[in-house]
Amino acid sequence: MRKWFWGFLFIAFGFVCSIAAERNPRTERISGSAGDVLEDDPVGRLKVYVYELPSKYNKKILQKDPRCLSHMFAAEIYMHRFLLSSPVRTLNPEEADWFYTPIYATCDLTPTGLPLPFKSPRMVRSAIQLISSSWPYWNRTEGADHFFVVPHDFGACFHYQEEKAIERGILPILQRATLVQTFGQRNHVCLNEGSITIPPYAPPQKMQARQIPLDTPRSIFVYFRGLFYDVNNDPEGGYYARGARAAVWENFKNNPLFDISTEHPTTYYEDMQRAIFCLCPLGWAPWSPRLVEAVVFGCIPVIIADDIVLPFADAIPWEEIGVFVAEEDVPKLDTILTSIPPEVILRKQRLLANPSMKRAMLFPQPALPGDAFHQILNGLARKLPHQKSIYLKPGEKILNWTAGPVGDLKPW
Amino acid sequence: MKLSALQQSYLGRRSNSFRSSGPLDSSSDGAFKSPAAVFWLVLHGLSCLISLLLGFRFSRLVFLLLSTSSTYTSPFHSPTELAKTLDIRSVIPADPVGNVPLPFPNKTATNSRVVVGRHGIRIRPWPHPNPVEVMKAHRIIERVQTEQRLQFGVKDPRKIIVVTPTYVRTFQSLHLTGVMHSLMLVPYDLVWIVVEAGGVSNETASLIAKSGLRIIHVGFSQRMPNSWDERHKLETKMRLRGLRIVREKILDGIVIFADDSNMHSMELFDEIQNAKWFGAVSVGILANSANIDETVVEKRGEEENPRMPVQGPACNVSNMLAGWHTFNTLPFAGKSAVYIDDRATVLPRKLEWSGFVLNSRLLWKDGDKPEWMKDIDTLDGDIESPLDLVKDPSVVEPLGSCGRRVLLWWLRVEARADSKFPPRWIIDPPLEVTVPSKRTPWPDTPPELPSHKKPVIGIQEPIIKHTTKTRTSRSKRRSKRKHDETRTDRRTTGFDKTLQN
């Protein structure tokens, strides 16, 4: 009888397995240590304490310019809102693992909508002075268990021009804190070890509203819309995008497979859903919202940015989803793309079709499980427990509060 | 050194214009300026003034003169050296457990290979598409689209059985080629049953053989009559003949009636896969309004938007079949075409066959089929409309989002009954009379000798227009001849008018 019982159990198990395997033939789950991490739930794994800063650091700035809610740096605002009502939030700072300072440093916009980073160092400095004097937790570790969201072009270097940003380096008082930023480039001053790279904000409702039926055949081979030459700032070419975008234009403007232009079509989202490859070359900074759009619309991203660190790189296996092309190989882009075997392309499309992949790139309101907010929390949770060495002995000081350009030391 | 500072101030000026920000206290931070900074500002101002005088950017000229290589072929050599001097700062690592900063960034694994500064724009020597790669890309696109169709398209697509009645006439080639190409694009399995009035002919056979489809070509003994009424009746009989073939050969799939002058959209073939037993789609009626009377034009003008009449299923609010939209023949009463070559409007029947599809199992002798289907062997007389095949018209399934989508168009256009055309549209023996056109693009080519003229006077007007058009195209290809042309010109004076186009 026992043999019968075990045999039956075995058959039932096999049955269940086969049904589960058949359920979703069209998407593929990234299995293994990287992919499973996407579906981790951070609730219960960490506790975050949100400092109560006066509203001049956050709400008043937002009131002055509500455009900050829809531009690509809006992640800092939505992260604040998410944490305020999230189950990982704790009101008792003694039991918190991480401390969050809600500063909207990227909300000082020009009339055309670009953020000016010139006051941000002073704002951050003043906020940190405030928290270090009102609460003991900053001085305890000099910020090593604090995290800040700095989604600007070059992160906490607070400048939009790369040479200036490199000159400034990361703000000295943020050197020990964990930075959650969109900028990511290996061996670059503005990317600290242990920073968490996030995708830029892209409006989820707008993208959902413009979805086309899935059986619309993908007939565009390569798609790109954007600038190739930045004539206002780099008329001769060669500086913008390190010449990579200009190389794409010069080499492939005659190629019928490449649908590339500088137009702003109203059907941009719909066109992306009809393309197989979407180019995501660097611009003045290596990251761009095109990556998010490509992943959401199922178009394989072709990333042309040397040494770039992509969002959530420890959770998402970008090598398997996208195609990486070195900037010096841009003239051979058509050879590279046409020599990818069709099975590999179909596999990449299946991985992209996975809804958890698309959700990990978005900042939906209200938050959904597995979205970018949760990936940030997962990243923070993976850095726990804190090493004992971050806790300073009383009286010990590591950071130099007067380092940096003289202009940063002015009060805000 | 000098150049790097110039470049830096240049960059600073550029990026300042990027953000259009007024108070730029970032680049020149600090309350005081060093003498060097003042000196460079003065130099900057001087070069601006010189540029104003000269009319172009003076500093750019200096820059170009001092650099050695060109922009477009290789990375700048001197500017990269400049960039390297800038880069020393970029190599300094942030954390103390970092790499030893090298004075010049070589391509080591620990240092950044990415250099800030001007890079060359790499263009390959032949920046044009490679045809082999283009073909590979198209194959990739095809594979992706097949996969898409498998995943999101119709599950388990059934074979499509197309029944087309036809007969040999001038416009047959025009109509049948259109249908043939539409059928060649259909992504599903296909069987084409062509029923030809007047028996199987080589003309039709050679035309449809080019398609590469699976074809069953049968002949129907009667010839196609000359009046539209009779023609519709004969076509119905021919379609029933086609249905009998489906029964004999026990073909399995969806039967669709594709008249040879209709236009089909590709979505039609996707939509009919949804038919379970007997489906109906909306047909747009393109009543040939070539010579409409003024009265009809006036009537049309009164309406705000003369809409194309559509035949097909009509649904009620709950998307159930409620009735039928048919063609309103009243405005055309007495003015419609009677004979095939009349220049009046050709009217469709109340309900055209092409708007209906049926599951081929309905035609089989045995097998489980619904009891509302009449046996086609019992029907022999006149069937007015396809609804006579079923006992109860309410079982018909409306397709194409309940008849709201028009998926095919009905049209009847025919040439004159006595019009002739070269068999198989091959001009054999070749035309030997060539009449020169007024202008040729090759005035210098040597003249060719004409051979004897063929009598062309006996052919009637439509064919004359036809043949002279081909003749002019051929004469354009040949050369202009000098003396003999004038003689033939005078002989064929009647054609001159047409030659002037």
For residue range A82-139, what is the model confidence (pLDDT) as tens digits?
Answer: 999 999 999 999 999 999 999 999 998 999 888 898 889 999 999 999 999 999 998 8
Confidence of residue B320 (pLDDT cuts 50, 70, 90): confident
Residues of B in contact with A255 (CB under 8 A): 128-129
Q: What is the largest CA-CA distance in chain A?
A: 85
Cβ–Cβ of A114/B19 closer than 8 Å?
A: yes
Residue B58 has pLDDT above 50, yes or no: yes
Query: What's the rounded Cα separation, in Å, for the pair B105 and B8?
Result: 20
Cβ–Cβ of A306/B114 closer than 8 Å?
A: yes
Q: Which domain holds residue B357?
A: 139-280+353-403
Residues of A in contact with B187 (CB under 8 A): none
**What confidence score (pLDDT) does residue B48 get?**
82
Best probe of the A interface among B121, B155, B270, by most A CBs < 10 A, is: B121
Confidence of residue B448 (pLDDT cuts 50, 70, 90): low
**What confidence score (pLDDT) does residue B100 get?**
36
Residues of A in contact with B123 (CB under 8 A): 247, 250-251, 331
pLDDT in tens, B376-432: 777 766 677 788 888 888 888 888 888 888 999 998 888 877 788 888 888 877 777
- For residues B174 and B326, which has the higher predicted lDDT (pLDDT)? B174
**What confidence score (pLDDT) does residue A7 get?**
64
Residues of A in contact with B51 (CB under 8 A): none
What is the Cα A203 distance to its own chain's centre?
A: 14
- For residues B329 and B499, which has the higher predicted lDDT (pLDDT)? B329
Cβ–Cβ of A251/B14 closer than 8 Å?
A: no
Provide the residue type at A8 as one letter. F
pLDDT in tens, A166-183: 888 898 889 899 999 999
Query: What's the rounded Cα separation, in Å, for the pair B3 and B63?
Result: 8
Residue A404, classified by CB atoms within 10 Å of its CB into exposed (0-12), middle (13-18) or buried (19+), is middle
Best probe of the B interface among A110, A192, A233, by most B CBs < 10 A, is: A233
Closest CA to A173 of A152, A198, A148: A148
Closest CA to A221 of A333, A354, A306: A333
Which CATH fold topology does A10-29+207-359 show?
Answer: Rossmann fold (3.40.50)
Helical pair A75-84 and A372-382, crossing angle rounded to 10 deg: 80
- How does DSSP classify residue B171? T
Query: What's the rounded Cα separation, in Å, for the pair A299 and A213?
Result: 14
**What confidence score (pLDDT) does residue B437 get?**
74
- How does DSSP classify residue B373? B
- Residue ranges matching CATH 3.40.50 in chain A: 10-29+207-359
Confidence of residue A77 (pLDDT cuts 50, 70, 90): very high
Confidence of residue B449 (pLDDT cuts 50, 70, 90): low
User: Residue B102 — left, alpha, or beta (φ > 0 → left; ψ -120 to 50 → alpha)?
Assistant: beta
Cβ–Cβ of A188/B112 closer than 8 Å?
A: yes
Q: Do residues B213 and B190 touch, judged by C-beta distance below 8 A?
A: yes
Number of folded domains that form chain B: 1
Asked if the C-beta of A214 comes within 8 angstroms of chain B's C-beta atoms, the answer is: yes
Q: Do residues B182 and B208 touch, judged by C-beta distance below 8 A?
A: no
For B363, the token pair is 């035609």
Residue B72 has pLDDT above 50, yes or no: no
Shortest alpha-carbon distance between residue A120 and chain B (Å) = 12
Which residues are CB-contacts of B286 (< 8 A; sequence separation ≥ 6)? B308, B409, B410, B411
- Chain B residue with Cα closest to A219: B141
DSSP assignment of A97-165 = SEEE----TT--B-TTSPBP-SSHHHHHHHHHHHHHHH-SHHHHHTTTTEEEE--STTGGG--SSHHHH
Which residues of A, range 101-130, sit inside 8 Å of B by Cβ?
110-112, 114, 116, 118
**What confidence score (pLDDT) does residue B219 get?**
93
Closest CA to B313 of B305, B301, B322: B322
Q: Which of B113, B127, B136 sits opposite A306 (nearest CB)?
A: B113
Strand-pair partners of B256: B162, B357
Give the CB-side neighbour count of residue B436, counting CA atoms within 13 A.
22
Q: Do residues A141 and A390 touch, judged by C-beta distance below 8 A?
A: yes
Confidence of residue A8 (pLDDT cuts 50, 70, 90): low
pLDDT in tens, B386-398: 888 888 888 888 8
* CATH code, domain carrying B155: 3.90.550.10
Strand pairing of A275-281 and A300-304? parallel
Confidence of residue B136 (pLDDT cuts 50, 70, 90): very high
Residues of B in contact with A175 (CB under 8 A): 94
**What confidence score (pLDDT) does residue A373 get?**
93
B381 located within any domain: yes
**What confidence score (pLDDT) does residue A276 get?**
95
pTM: 0.68
- The fraction of chain B above a pLDDT of 90, given in percent, is 22
Shortest alpha-carbon distance between residue A323 and chain B (Å) = 15
* b/e code B360-392 from CB counts within 10 Å (16+ = b): bbbbeeeeeeeebbeebeeeeeebebbbebbee
Which range has the worst mean pLDDT, A90-94, A204-208, B364-368?
B364-368
Cβ–Cβ of A251/B130 closer than 8 Å?
A: no
